[in-house]
């Protein structure tokens, strides 16, 4: 299994818009074969950092997801929403493997 860890720098004045964006992506990842573990929004401490975690059985499966995502109208609409609202300032993507 491979888990994608996304660290977002968000506009703290657009937290509502980012939360809407997050809620768009959770079912999309599931629809395209992944397991979404949720988004984590600021509560205490830094007010401009948010996280997301989702997993795929392998990195190859993640690559299939990326290809399907590029062709999916709902995914493109979600990206468009983020661009339109400018709720995301930047992000980092890291892949991790679990240890049980």
pLDDT of residue 48: 97
For 35-71, b where at least 16 C-beta lie within 10 A, e where not — what string?
ebbebebeeeeeeeebebebbbeeeebbeebeeebee
Residue 97 DSSP symbol: -
Enumerate residue ranges in the chain where pLDDT < 70. Answer: none
In the beta sheet, which residues pair with residue 51? 7, 40
pTM, two decimals, is 0.91
Beta strands in the chain (DSSP E): 2-10, 35-40, 49-56, 88-96
């Amino acid at each position: 299994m491979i888990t994608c860890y996304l660290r977002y720098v968000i506009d703290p004045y657009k937290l509502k818009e980012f939360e809407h964006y997050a809620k768009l992506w959770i079912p999309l990842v599931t629809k395209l074969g992944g397991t979404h573990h949720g988004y984590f929004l600021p509560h205490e401490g830094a007010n401009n950092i948010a996280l997301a975690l989702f997993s795929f059985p392998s990195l190859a499966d993640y690559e299939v997801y990326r290809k399907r995502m590029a062709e999916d109208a709902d995914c493109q609409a979600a990206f468009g929403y983020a661009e339109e609202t400018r709720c995301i300032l930047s992000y980092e993507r890291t892949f991790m493997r679990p240890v049980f």
